[in-house]
């Protein structure tokens, strides 16, 4: 089945640690995105990538890093510089071209990160 | 910064009624708009897409777009308790080619 797989589902981080969230898709989509969602809030864009080996900062990139070495994979690292990382992290992908429905973003199941 | 605004709610309607959810956006260049439904603790799922001015119907859902007023709405007819969720409005940022989301409206359908 085609889709987006995020792992782990739950992640606990100690103060000062870096952690990496995995995102893999087999939809053959060019574009991939990372969003952060805080309780009662909408989704805020962290990083996005329209093509392999290229990515751009979103609205809240500070304290995060990404890589896009393969079309299928877009891991997100939450660094110790991110002062308030507890949130629900969502990875998404889309076809990327055009302006129609094919720009729909498909989401993974999310990773809930908690600082302990 | 380009913004999408929604009333956070909760919007409470009785079962069988019409639920009306509204959204405004700041980017006049936006052309594509999406409504996602998100159940508590789950990821968003697309329920409607609209690109042209006017109405678009899909089953019990109708999306309405007014580009002159920069306004998007979602109507849910014959609301069911299973429709209780948060509804996220999103616009496509044509510069970044990424979706900009509103904060969502929580809908409660009372049996």
- Asked if B46 has any chain A CB less than 8 Å from its own CB, the reply is yes
Q: Which residues of A touch B1 (CB under 8 A)?
A: 59
Q: Which of B37, B26, B32, B27 is nearest to B50 (CA)?
A: B32
Q: Whole-angstrom Cα distance, residue B104 to residue B89?
A: 7
A-B CB pairs within 8 A amount to: 68
State the nearest Cα–Cα gap between A97 and chain B, in angstroms. Answer: 8
**Mind listing the pLDDT tens digit for each residue in A71-82?**
999 999 999 888
State the nearest Cα–Cα gap between A10 and chain B, in angstroms. Answer: 12
Instruction: For chain A, state the CA radius of gyration.
Output: 14
**Mind listing the pLDDT tens digit for each residue in B6-50?**
988 899 999 999 999 999 999 888 889 999 999 999 999 999 999
Q: Which residues of B touch A110 (CB under 8 A)?
A: 42-43
Is there a contact between B97 and A96 if contact means CB atoms under 8 Å apart?
yes
List the pLDDT tens digit at each of the 116 positions of chain A: 679 999 999 999 898 899 999 999 999 999 999 999 998 888 999 999 999 999 999 999 999 999 999 999 999 999 988 889 999 999 999 986 666 666 788 999 999 999 98
- Residue B81: pLDDT over 80: yes
Which of A42, A90, A103 has the CB atom closest to B103's CB atom? A42
Contact B79, B18 (CB under 8 A): yes
Among B99, B102, B105, most A C-beta atoms within 10 A, so best to mutate, is B99
Which residues in chain B belong to E strands, given as ranges?
4-6, 11-14, 19-25, 33-38, 45-50, 54-58, 61-66, 71-76, 85-93, 98-101, 105-110
Nearest CA in chain B to A87: B41
**Mind listing the pLDDT tens digit for each residue in B89-111?**
999 888 888 899 999 999 999 99
Q: Which residues of A touch B94 (CB under 8 A)?
A: 99
Is there a contact between B101 and A108 if contact means CB atoms under 8 Å apart?
no
Which of B8, B32, B44 has the CB atom closest to A99's CB atom? B32
């Amino acid at each position: 089945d085609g889709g987006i797989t995020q792992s782990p589902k739950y992640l606990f981080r100690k103060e000062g640690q870096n952690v990496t969230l995995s995102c893999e898709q087999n939809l053959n989509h060019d574009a991939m995105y990372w969003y952060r969602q805080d309780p009662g809030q909408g989704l805020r864009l962290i990083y996005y990538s329209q093509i392999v080996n290229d990515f751009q900062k979103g609205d809240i990139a500070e304290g995060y890093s990404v890589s896009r070495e393969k079309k299928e994979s877009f891991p997100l690292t939450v660094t110790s510089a991110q002062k308030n990382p507890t949130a629900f992290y969502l990875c998404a992908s889309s076809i990327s071209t055009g302006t129609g429905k094919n720009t729909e973003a498909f989401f993974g199941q999310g990773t809930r990160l908690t600082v302990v | 910064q380009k913004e999408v605004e929604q009333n956070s709610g909760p919007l409470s309607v009785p079962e069988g009624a019409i639920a009306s959810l509204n959204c405004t956006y700041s980017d006049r260049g936006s052309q594509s708009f999406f409504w996602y439904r998100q159940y508590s603790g789950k990821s968003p799922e697309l329920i409607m897409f609209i690109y042209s001015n006017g109405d678009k119907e899909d089953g019990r859902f109708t999306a309405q777009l007014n580009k002159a007023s920069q306004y998007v709405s979602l109507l849910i007819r014959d609301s069911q308790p299973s429709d209780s969720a948060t509804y996220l409005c999103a616009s496509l940022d044509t510069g970044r080619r990424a979706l900009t989301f509103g904060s969502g409206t929580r809908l409660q359908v009372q049996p």
